[in-house]
Amino acid sequence: MFPDLKYSVADFRLLADNAPVGIFLTTVDGQWRYANEALAHMLEFDSPRELMRESALERYHQPGARAALLERLHNGEQVRNAELELRTRNGAVRTVLSSMNLEGDRITGMMIDVTDRKQAEVERVALLKQLAQERALLAEVLQQMPLGVGIATAPKGTLILGNAQLETIWRHPMIPADTIAGYDVYHGFHLDGRPLLPEEWPLARAIRTGEVVSPELIAFERGDGSHGLMEMRAAPVRDDMGTVVAGVVTFDDVTARERAARDQQFLSEASALLASSLDYDATLTRVARLSVPRLADWCLVHMVDTDGIARIVAFEHADPRQHELRNDLEQWYTLAPGAPSHIAQVLRSGKPILISEIREEHLAATAVDEQHLAALHKLGMRSGLIVPLIVQQTCVGALTLIVAESGRSYDSTDLALAEEVALRAAQAITHARLYAAEQQAHAEAEAAVRLRDEFLSVASHELQTPLTAMLGTVQLIQQRDSRENMLSERDRRSFAMVAAQSRRLQRLIANLLDVTRLTAGRLTLQLGSIDLGELVSRLVDELRLITTQHQIELDLPETPLILSGDMLRLEQVVANLLQNAIKYSPYGGVVKVQVEQRGAEAVLKVTDQGIGIPAAALPNLFTRYYRAPNTATARISGLGIGLFVVKEIVEAHGGTVSVSSDEGYGSCFTVTLPQG
């Protein structure tokens, strides 16, 4: 076989026994002739001998695999690195690469176990697949993100990815840039208007310095030339070593959001300012001031006067040097109702006008003559807004906002904001007007009260003089009668009646006089020692002379109830309460008068069965000129000053007066007076 063989079979045997690959020799029908250690081990047998105890056919896992191999060998093919699956002693399956030769009926061959490699390969393929899937997912997420996303590699800053939203926000396709310097194809600005340098873009900063850029507002010019605001974030992507390998930027167009927030802020400031003044002119001046420069380069407020002519009441210009413009404007924009101007049109219709771009024809339509037109040209108006000020469904004025130098142009959002401002201004005007009307009404009411007080004071003085003379005369007659007994019993009763009624009248007049005195705080007490029981009993006797309809019950303490007080004033208190009890019981009934001592206080209670007092009227009862509504229903007249006087006198004595009542069933007035 090997004619010039220098090595013995034993040498080969040794080599085969120790080879790290499986080596075997079998017959075609599956009988082992030789197997080495490595093969036995590969197939989980303790030794080649054990392996060789079983047929080699047993080891094939795939049915027909061995037959196919044999066929190839028989066809004279060399089998090299054929992949086979073999079954181990323990039933596990190993994948091997096998090379075989057929000689006569003997097959020699070797095998390498590639199960682990194969497994690793399968895993690698699966991993790659998973990776591809994840990549696709990520790419999809990036595309679907509502934010614009851009990725650039470090250190050059080559833009490698931009999602669809990037294009939507910029309104142009992603412009490739190989280096950071190339970012200048994107037009960004600082908020103060300075252009953003390429290396100032957040993505550039993340790549160059590893900076994590938290939300930053950047102004930008879109592909269609319009301007907006974006909020940008950026972060570096680092490798295992911490080296920046890429940068990611995300951004969102926040133009609308920022504008809404600014408008809201503006509106709340406007509301606060407008609400803080009730002065009409100041309100309108504030509106104008507020609007410039945030809403306009200059602003006019017109108000329609009572003569129907709209005049400029406030003017504000962003450039203070232009303030003299007001005179010119007043000349042209004092508007008669039929004037051709847009402002007059708004005042007539109550509908706003928005002119996004003021063109020649707009100027020509409002100019009254050549000189006016020339002046209008000089004003350089670019865009304008006129909104009505509507108070109680009537257009009372207009707010005009003009853009000139700043070059902005108004849109419907500006119009909505201006309308909101006008609404709030109109509310402020309404409040200012109501306040002014209220002030006037208040002043008028006060003047009326003063007039009434003055009249009462004069009238009561005038009444008092003849009444005193009359009462004096009656008393003289009564005194003469008591000496000379000259009157008939009937006349005597009549004179007593005249005297009682005169005294009643006197007290009424005293009340009137007191009202003015009390309001001026001029009540002085002349204190003396008084027996309250005696005082009350005297006035009850007098009252009995006046009424026959009422039954007056008097309940006095057994011993005198002495207190320190002003006799005439306390008489006024008791008389007022007694007379009210009679007056407000038009159908008669019992009037109960109680005097008692309670601790260190004297208490007087007057209870009647009259019309009573509505609960709602109780808190106002002691107010000057107040009368409960049920007095009108019952047709009982009065001035509404008696109880006011009672309260003032009682309180001047350090006492209290209170009332309880059940409307329709009667009232009870309680006076307490300290005895000390």
Residues that bind ligand ADP (CB under 6 A): 576, 580-581, 584, 608, 610-613, 621, 627-628, 631, 638-644, 667
Residues near 43 by Cβ (< 8 Å), separated by ≥ 6?
22, 51, 59, 86, 87, 88, 89, 94
Minimum Å gap between C-beta 579 and ligand ADP is 8
Residue 250 or 667 with smaller CB distance to ligand ADP: 667
Residue 150 or 655 with smaller CB distance to ligand ADP: 655
Minimum Å gap between C-beta 589 and ligand ADP is 11
Residue 280 or 626 with smaller CB distance to ligand ADP: 626
Residue 325 or 505 with smaller CB distance to ligand ADP: 505
Q: Helix 567-583 to helix 489-519 angle, to the nearest 10 degrees?
A: 110
Closest by CA position to 258, among listed 237, 229, 288, 219: 229
Closest by CA position to 186, among listed 168, 201, 206: 201
* 303 in Cβ contact with 428 (< 8 Å): no
Minimum Å gap between C-beta 437 and ligand ADP is 30
Minimum Å gap between C-beta 608 and ligand ADP is 5
> Which phi and psi angles does 230 have, rounded to 5°?
-125, 155
On the 0-12 / 13-18 / 19+ scale of CB atoms within 10 A, 537 is: middle
d(CA 392, CA 434): 12
d(CA 333, CA 310): 8
Residue 342 or 647 with smaller CB distance to ligand ADP: 647
**What burial letters (b/e) apply to 409-443, b meaning 16+ CB within 10 Å?**
ebeeebbebbbbbbbbbbbbbebbeeeeeeeeeee
Q: Give the position of tokens 């002003």.
A: 566
Minimum Å gap between C-beta 636 and ligand ADP is 7
Q: Helix 567-583 to helix 642-652 angle, to the nearest 10 degrees?
A: 140
Residues near 14 by Cβ (< 8 Å), separated by ≥ 6?
none
Minimum Å gap between C-beta 545 and ligand ADP is 20
Residue 286 or 592 with smaller CB distance to ligand ADP: 592
Q: Which residue is nearest to ligand ADP (CB)?
A: 638
d(CA 287, CA 495): 76
Residue 300 or 509 with smaller CB distance to ligand ADP: 509
Minimum Å gap between C-beta 484 and ligand ADP is 40
Minimum Å gap between C-beta 624 and ligand ADP is 8
Minimum Å gap between C-beta 393 and ligand ADP is 41
Residue 335 or 641 with smaller CB distance to ligand ADP: 641
Residue 514 or 531 with smaller CB distance to ligand ADP: 514
Residues near 614 by Cβ (< 8 Å), separated by ≥ 6?
628, 629, 630, 663
Give the number of other CB atoms < 10 A from CB of residue 583.
Answer: 18
Report the half-sphere exposure of 583 (CA within 13 A, side-chain side).
Answer: 15
Minimum Å gap between C-beta 276 and ligand ADP is 42
Strand partners, 272: none
Closest by CA position to 205, among listed 252, 249, 174: 249
Residue 99 or 631 with smaller CB distance to ligand ADP: 631
At 358, is the secondary structure helix, strand, or coil?
coil
Closest by CA position to 551, among listed 516, 592, 508, 519: 592
Residue 245 or 659 with smaller CB distance to ligand ADP: 659
Residue 288 or 613 with smaller CB distance to ligand ADP: 613
Residues near 572 by Cβ (< 8 Å), separated by ≥ 6?
507, 510, 511, 514, 645, 646, 649
Minimum Å gap between C-beta 616 and ligand ADP is 12
Report the amino acid identity of residue 199. Answer: E
Closest by CA position to 517, among listed 445, 463, 569, 443: 569
* 287 in Cβ contact with 314 (< 8 Å): yes
Minimum Å gap between C-beta 581 and ligand ADP is 5
Residue 235 or 621 with smaller CB distance to ligand ADP: 621
Minimum Å gap between C-beta 503 and ligand ADP is 17
